[in-house]
Amino acid sequence: MISFVRYAVVVVLYGFLTSCTTHDQPEQRSITFWHFWSEPQQRQVLDSLLEEFERLHPTIDVVPSELAWSDGMSKLQLAFNSGTAPDVVHTGLDWFAVFAEGGAIQALSFVDTAAYPTYIGAAVMMNGLAYAAPWTMNVRAHVRRGAAGDTTWGLCIGDPHNVLKRTLPLVWKFGAPDVYRREPIVETLDERCVQSLDSLRRTLAPRAVFDQSRSLDDALRKGALTDVYTGAWIYTGQDARERAFQEEQPSRSILNADVLCMSSRCTDTLSASVFVRWITSDSVSKAFTNQIPDAGMPVHTSVLSAYPVDERPIFYRTAMMSVTVPTSPRLLETERIVEEMIERALRASSLAEVRYVVEQARSAVLQRR
């Protein structure tokens, strides 16, 4: 009898200790993260950051998946529509609003918009709530390589999302500073827009190189053109510091940003919030952009205030005088219309044809309102 009692006590004690051990051990959690940094060096740097995050937060596993800029938007829309969206998603500042209006992403209470440049802080807001956490910011700057008086511009065509980023600054500079800068966009497609596009057509287009972004950058490196709006990656590569960029001209451009959003289907919002807050923090953002020039610059005002002016100076100076374009669920369709308008106007043969092209764009935008 005594031995039975002892056995019972041992069993109960073992169960109690096992129960305590199980409850004391933190539960392992996992969050999915879709991002666009898919090129080998980008992926390597980001993977190292994810490893660092998991070392600091051993109970949270981050499961990354890569997207391509060419079709990533379509894949995200399909995932949100089918209920298979990731917990955390990387998007551009210019199109996260599509997901916010549709209820696919949730508001982020921890985002302090005052910590970012005014334009970007305002751009992540919808209906008084922040739906995206700014990660990095970037611009396309005017870079020149050529002798005085020798001008051959690289004008972007056939490259969705990039036509606007690389050509709209020229539309502004040539006399239509409001185009695509305020809503309703259709009201900015006015006579000033017509005259600016016609001036561009007559002044730059006759000697321009028309091509997609990467080809234009390659042509600049080889000296086949003298002027282009391009990104900070133009300074990377083995011969980056040997290139003779005689002139770098800061001028108002489109201020864009990479942002992180949290999907509405995310159930472990605590772990997802911890991850988003960490990877978009000022120190991690700075470390990321230092290693990946394609990512642009840190987005926090506290970091920018001490940003070394001699480090990619043209992009810093351009960013400080640049502006965001409106964020709206309708702007993705509008963007395609405006980009086609710019391409057709640059290839037009007369002012009358340019005016007709702009009028057609106005009608197309109005039909989608």
Give the mean model confidence (pLDDT) for residues 320-330.
84
252, pLDDT greater than 50: yes
Q: What angle do CA 54, 36, 282 make, to 5 degrees?
A: 55
Fold of 29-139+257-320: D-Maltodextrin-Binding Protein; domain 2 (3.40.190)
Max CA distance (Å), the chain? 108
Helices (H), ranges, the chain: 2-24, 40-56, 72-82, 97-101, 118-123, 162-173, 191-203, 213-222, 269-279, 282-291, 301-304, 313-320, 331-346, 351-367
197-201 LR contacts (CB < 8 Å, sep 24+) = 197/171, 197/341, 197/342, 197/345, 197/346, 197/354, 197/357, 197/358, 198/345, 198/348, 198/351, 198/354, 199/174, 199/175, 200/170, 200/171, 200/174, 200/345, 200/346, 201/345, 201/346, 201/347, 201/348, 201/354
Q: For 295, phi and psi rounded to 5 degrees?
A: -75, -15
305, pLDDT greater than 60: yes
How many other CB atoms sit within 10 Å of the CB of residue 324?
21
- Nearest partner of 84 among 101, 104, 66, judged by Cα: 104
- Nearest partner of 279 among 87, 50, 41, judged by Cα: 50
Q: Determine the CATH number of domain 141-254+330-367.
A: 3.40.190.10
- Rounded CA gap, 237 and 239, in Å? 6
Q: Which pLDDT band holds residue 150 (cuts at 50, 70, 90)?
A: confident
Query: For 74, what's the count of Cα atoms within 13 Å in the CB-facing half-sphere?
Result: 4
Q: Amino acid identity, residue 356?
A: Y
Q: Where in the chain is the domain with CATH 3.40.190.10?
A: 29-139+257-320, 141-254+330-367
First-to-final CA distance of the chain: 86
Sign of torsion over alpha carbons 329, 335, 338, 340: negative
Q: Amino acid identity, residue 339?
A: E
Predicted TM-score of the model (pTM): 0.84
Look up tokens 């007369």; give the residue: 350
The pairing of beta strand 227-230 with beta strand 141-144? antiparallel
Question: What are the pLDDT digits (tens) for 42-89?
Answer: 999 999 999 999 999 999 999 999 998 878 888 998 998 898 999 999
Give the mean model confidence (pLDDT) for residues 255-284.
96
Beta bridge partners of 262: 88, 106
The pairing of beta strand 29-35 with beta strand 88-92? parallel
Give the mean model confidence (pLDDT) for residues 185-214.
96
Give the mean model confidence (pLDDT) for residues 221-247.
71
Higher pLDDT, 143 or 278: 278
pLDDT of residue 113: 95
Q: Which residues of 288-307 are buried (b: 16+ CB within 10 A; e: fewer)?
A: bbeebbebbbbbbeebbeeb
Give the mean model confidence (pLDDT) for residues 241-256.
70
Look up tokens 């440049």; give the residue: 117
Q: Which pLDDT band holds residue 8 (cuts at 50, 70, 90)?
A: very low
pLDDT of residue 237: 57
